Amino acid sequence: MHQEKIQAVIKEVKKVVVGQDKMINRLLIGLFTNGHILLEGVPGLAKTLTVNTLSKVLHLDFKRIQFTPDLLPSDLVGTMIYNQLNANFEVKKGPIFSNIILADEVNRSPAKVQSALLEAMQERQVTIGETTYPLDRPFLVLATQNPVDQEGTYPLPEAQVDRFMMKVNIDYPTKKDELEVMRRMTDAHFASNVNAILDKEEIFAIRNAINEVQIAETLENYIIELVFSTRFPENYGMHEEAKYIMFGASPRASINLNLASKAVAYMEGRDYVLPEDVKEIADDVLNHRIILNYEAEADNVNTRDLIKKILEKIPLNKTVSMK
């Protein structure tokens, strides 16, 4: 039943969004596992359109926040306003008080704003004045960012990046997809209306069902080995790759890789995880958690290349003693 609803959601989103199947899939995985998603790609690849359309298909409150260099923390979480009639201060809540937050171009805002967003992402709460306010459930940040080498961007703090369950790199569309996009956007009669499919109760039910998906101990150990190989590559025979890695993936990587693998299996209609599920999602869960050094940049090595080699090097049944 739930799988049919999920397919209906995808069908509705694709009424508006052409291609980008991977992005749609990863956004739904984030929604169903309570994990924030970071989308990276150059402007014009339908990142904002996809998130906006998905929000319309869900019975959830949605706010879009355009991050800019002059954005203040109070613009995000809210502030205290003095009421002259009552002679006291009242709280005016900001746009963060919503179920789905589209943080558009999140890496264009300064550190103080990132700090305010970090509390909301990790603690599911915000502090205004001396009072802490819980955020509604579900609460999900779907952030877009431009490549960090573009003008006017700020590198996100590692602590904040690690709070994102996945970082999804968005590529250019195929020729066929771009032709369809061009036709739709130049058609005055094209309708972008979508129907709402899921509500909060159904989303929570899907989350509970994903938590019940079975994962074998062999696959649990495989996930641990993948994560540990990013921290201690020499112990896995990856001496060449080791010289490029400054810091490996955090324990959140193990947790999120487990959850995301279960979600992949569930959305495929299975109640058990296969090795292919782990491998399919590994790049998106790990790529933003591996910190490379300057030597990697000089040799034009990126995290996606390293993850590909890790998946090739670490067999399913490999177990390395790690004290």
- Model confidence over 173-218: pLDDT tens digits? 888 888 888 887 777 667 677 788 888 888 899 999 999 999 999 9
Overall residue count recorded for the chain in this entry: 323
Shared-domain flag, residues 26 and 94: yes
Residue 207 lies in a domain: no
**71: pLDDT confidence band, cut at 50, 70 and 90?**
confident
Domain with 221, as residue range(s), is 212-313
Contact between 22 and 174 under an 8 Å Cβ cutoff? The reply is no
What residues contact residue 226 under an 8 Å CB cut-off, 6+ apart?
Answer: 257, 278, 282, 286, 310, 311, 314
- Same domain flag for 57 and 94: yes
Q: How far is CA 182 from each of CA 21, 44, 61, 185, rounded to the nearest angstrom?
A: 18, 12, 30, 5
User: pLDDT tier at 70 (50, 70, 90 boundaries)?
Assistant: confident
Q: What angle do CA 4, 100, 186 make, to 5 degrees?
A: 75
Are 27 and 54 within 8 A, CB to CB?
A: yes
Asked if residue 238 has pLDDT above 50, the reply is yes
Asked if 187 and 240 sit in the same domain, the reply is: no
Last residue of a domain, one of 173, 202, 231: 202
Confidence of residue 283 (pLDDT cuts 50, 70, 90): very high
What mean pLDDT, rounded, does the chain reach? 84
15-65 per-position pLDDT tens digit:
888 888 888 889 999 999 989 999 887 777 777 788 888 888 887 888 888
Q: Is the confidence at residue 262, as pLDDT, over 90?
A: yes
Question: Is the domain of 226 the same as that of 175?
Answer: no
Helix (H) or strand (E) holding 164: strand 164-169
Structural domain includes residue 71: yes
Statement to judge: residues 216 and 198 lie in one domain: no
d(CA 125, CA 39): 23
Same-domain pairing of 240 and 193: no
Q: Do the domain assignments include residue 119?
A: yes
Q: Determine the pLDDT at residue 7.
A: 86
Enter the tokens of residue 244.
């490029």
Are 114 and 163 in contact, with CB atoms under 8 Å apart?
no
Does residue 151 sit in the same domain as residue 231? no
| One domain for residues 151 and 277 | no
Whether the predicted pLDDT of 321 surpasses 70: no
**Structural domain tally of the chain?**
2
Q: Quickly list DSSP for 109-156.
A: S-HHHHHHHHHHHHHSEEEETTEEEEPPSS-EEEEEE--TTSTT--PP
Q: What is the pLDDT of residue 153?
A: 66
CATH number at residue 197: 3.40.50.300
For residue 318, is it within any domain?
Answer: no
Cα 163 off chain centre by: 9
